[in-house]
Amino acid sequence: MADIVDIAVSADNFKTLVTAVKAANLVDTLKSPGPFTVFAPNDEAFAKLPPGTIQTLVQNIPQLSRILTYHVVAGKLMQADLAKVNCVTSVEGSPIPIDCSDGFEVKNATVVAGDIEADNGVIHVIDNVILMG
Amino acid sequence: MTTTITETKIPPSTHEFANVIHRLEAGGSMLPDTPENLMQIIGIYKAYAVPMDFYWRDLLYIAERVFLNPLPFFKYFLPKEYLDLHNHYAGDDADLRIWRGEATAHPELLAFIQKGETFKMPKLFHHLNHDRINMEFAEACMNAMLWHRGMGGQFDPYLDTDEYKANADRAIKAYFQGNPVMLGLYKLFPEMFIEQVRQLSYYANLGLFWEVMAPVFFEMSDIYDEGGFKGVPDAMNFLVNGIFAIAGRPIYHHVYIRGKCYEIIPKSKGFMWLYEAALPYVEAVFYRTSPFRGTKSYNAQAKQVPDEQKDFHYGILYADVLPVGTAGIPPTLLMDDMLHFLPDYLIDYYRQHCRGEDDMLIQLGITFQRSMYNVTSAVIQALRTALLYPLDDTNPKHLMANRRFFEAQMDRFKRSEARLRDIQSQDYR
């Protein structure tokens, strides 16, 4: 099996995410043993953000890292594990509400492909970039 | 895909402000969409942006250069260096160009600094004659943010950490190097100095917040002059997009002492414009602030002022604008600042109503209130976009979540002081 970064790089709908993770110097972290649960926004999710948002974040790496680490949770949490809780705490520190009552929703995003296992954790692909607050 | 698209409409709201909620759900603003409202709010954004161009520059000057000067007599005398300071969001070398104009101080501001309402004379005489920008208003906003604290974001909790105190300590010692009196005082009363630095960090925070808003308002005025906005929702959406575009700009506090930069709050902390400046600002200044000395009694027995800070409701969204110009009404300072920079079409408009030029300060104050309801609408729509669902979402559960969010926001305007009811009609002026 491959680690979280390798899986994202090999898939072709994570171009923006991979670029952002590289820019934010989070590659080594996400290649470490972890384990991590990553809610990975696909390219369409990034495309929904209003213009300028990404440009400002890429100019400001600590702020970009903060947004990206909000998408990461410590531990390997499969959909079945997440179904038992209402909320998980991200690596950034803010809570992420989880709703599995009707489909599989993470905050205001819907999981379009869940439980993609990696060596050092699991990836759930989401259709929106999630934001703290 | 679900196929029940025709079934997805949710029942109408039964909230007191149902009509406003339905308008928000249709992508509108709390302020009704009329050409008259659009003309008023854009005109006042322009009049606000010019003094704001002074505010943000001076706030940063005080935070970065005046710092702990115990006798800051000249803190409102902006040196050329700060008038020439390039706004990060205007001009050719902008990080992200919002206003197509110049990055240095606005020409109307420079003209006012030179001539004021009278004629060209040294800055000191303008100041003593009170022919100047009322910088105390900006400081009052900063104080509201400092004093209310705990309104979300990580900026405020950081001010209590040992890391922050160590950073402040380095700067304090460097600033008073060779001054045994102040260094001795610092040894005796360290918290007094640290608290002053916290206040200066809020000067920087607010300065960085307004550095964004000034070019946004200038650009909106230019777009309106070019015929670019078709209605109030367009103007609101420009603000929503602006909020997102700049959300990630860093919030920091750097101090320059004898040519050396001390990072009291480094950019690497990851503090962001949206969470650490914009949202706390809206809560502190639009909603809460503090009771006007001229309208409320601070008498503890009279119980006019709430016990809990979260219940404070003295911001511009609740303010009674009628007594503007009388004693004990702080927004008068801002209204007076805006009076100098009104566009001609707004002056003509005020001449035709109420007492014409005699009560222009009050008329423009009410226009300002309308415009801030539109800005608050933009913040509400931006939060909805960031945290909830698109307005055209087809899932009824998602639409209900949006509905509950809008209703919770409107609950804050149920109290009798709120001006949301008034701004629905043009008779309120």
Which neighbouring-strand residues pair with B15? none
Mean pLDDT for the stretch of residues A53-61: 94
Q: Let me know the angle formed at the C-alpha of B331 by B368 and B137, rounded to the nearest 5 degrees.
A: 110
Chain B nearest CA to A85, separation (Å): 19
The two structure tokens encoding residue B39: 């003309």
Q: Report how far apart, in Å, the C-alpha atoms of B395 and of each of A5, A14, B400, B404 are.
A: 33, 26, 9, 15
The mean predicted confidence, pLDDT, of chain B is 94
Interchain CB contact of A107 with B (< 8 Å): yes
pLDDT at B150: 84
Edge-to-edge strand list for the sheet holding A105-106: A72-74, A36-41, A121-126, A109-118, A105-106, A95-99, A87-89
* Burial class of residue A84 (count of CB atoms within 10 Å of its CB; 0-12, 13-18, 19+): exposed
pTM recorded for the entire structure: 0.94
Q: For position A133, what pLDDT does the model report? A: 82
Nearest by CB: A132 against B95, B244, B275: B275
Q: What tens digit of pLDDT does each residue of A5-30 get?
A: 999 999 989 999 999 999 999 999 99
Q: How far is B155 from chain A (nearest CA, A)?
A: 13
Looking at residue B248, its pLDDT comes to 95
Which of A52, A67, A107 lies nearest to residue B245, judging by beta carbons? A52
Q: What is the mean pLDDT of residues A89-111?
A: 93
Take residue A107 and report the two structure tokens written for it: 């905050």
Note whether A108 contacts B388, CB cutoff 8 Å. yes
List beta partners, residue A89.
A95
Query: Residue B41: pLDDT above 70?
Result: yes
Residue among B275, B389, B399 with most chain A CBs within 10 A, to mutate:
B275
Q: pLDDT class for B1, splitting at 50, 70, 90?
A: very low
What confidence tier does A34 reach under pLDDT thresholds 50, 70, 90? confident
Taking one residue from A and the other from B, the number of pairs with CB-CB distance under 8 angstroms is 65
Q: Whole-angstrom Cα distance, residue B386 to residue A53? A: 12
Contact residues, chain B to chain A, C-beta under 8 Å: 95-96, 152, 154, 240-241, 244-250, 267-272, 275, 279, 383, 386-389, 397-398
Residue to mutate among A101, A104, A108, with most B CBs inside 10 A, is A108
* A32 interfaces chain B, CB cutoff of 8 Å: no
**pLDDT tens digits, residue range B173-227?**
999 999 999 999 999 999 999 999 999 999 999 999 999 999 999 999 999 999 9
Determine, for residues A64 and B248 on separate chains, whether the beta-carbon distance falls below 8 Å.
Answer: yes
Task: Assign B3 a pLDDT band (cuts: 50, 70, 90).
Answer: very low
Show residues of chain B in contact with A51, CB under 8 Å. 241, 245
Res. B318 pLDDT band, cuts 50 70 90: very high
Nearest partner of B155 among B145, B169, B141, B168, judged by Cα: B145
Average pLDDT score over chain A? 93
pLDDT tens figures, B128-183: 999 999 999 999 999 999 999 888 889 999 999 999 999 999 999 999 999 999 99
A132 and B CB contact within 8 Å: yes
CA distances from residue A81 to A3, A26, A87 in whole angstroms, order as listed: 20, 25, 11
Q: What is the pLDDT of residue A26?
A: 93
Percent of chain B whose predicted confidence (pLDDT) is above 90: 92
CB contact under 8 A, A63 and B272: yes
What size, in residues, is chain A?
133
- Model confidence at B6: pLDDT above 80: no
Mean pLDDT of A78-100: 94
Nearest CB to A57 within list B248, B271, B388: B248
Residue A52 has its nearest CB partner, among B96, B270, B275, at B96
Judge whether A113 is closer than 8 Å to chain B, CB to CB: no
Per-residue pLDDT at B402 exceeds 50: yes
Nearest to A65 by CA among B118, B271, B275: B271
Q: For B141-151, what is each residue's pLDDT tens digit?
A: 999 999 998 88
Is pLDDT of B4 > 80?
no
- Which chain A residue has its CA at the smallest distance from B402's CA? A108
Mean pLDDT of B352-366: 92
Output the pLDDT for position A2.
86
Determine the pLDDT at residue B314: 94
Q: Choose, out of A53, A54, A56, A127, the residue to mutate when testing the contact with B (most B CBs < 10 Å).
A: A56
User: Does the pLDDT of residue A107 top 60, yes or no?
Assistant: yes
pLDDT at position B382 = 96
- Chain B partners of A67 at a C-beta cutoff of 8 Å? 248
**B47 pLDDT more than 90:** yes
Are A50 and B240 inside 8 Å of each other by CB? yes
Note whether A86 contacts B: Cβ–Cβ < 8 A.
no
Using an 8 Å CB-CB cutoff, list chain B residues near A64: 248
pLDDT mean over B280-295? 94
Instruction: Please name the member of A56, A64, A102 whose beta carbon is closest to the beta carbon of B96.
Output: A56
Contact state of B249 with A63 under an 8 Å Cβ cutoff: yes
A56: contact with B, CB 8 A cutoff: yes
Q: Nearest residue on chain A to B152, judged by CA atoms? A: A133
Which residues in chain A touch residue B246, judged by CB atoms under 8 angstroms apart?
52, 56
**DSSP per-residue codes, B392-413:** T---HHHHHHHHHHHHHHHHTT
B59-108 per-position pLDDT tens digit: 999 999 999 999 999 999 999 999 999 999 999 999 999 999 999 999 99
Confidence of residue B125 (pLDDT cuts 50, 70, 90): very high
Q: How confident is the model at residue B5 (pLDDT cuts 50, 70, 90)?
A: very low
Task: Supply the pLDDT for residue B184.
Answer: 97
Query: Which residues lie across from B353 on neighbouring strands?
Result: none
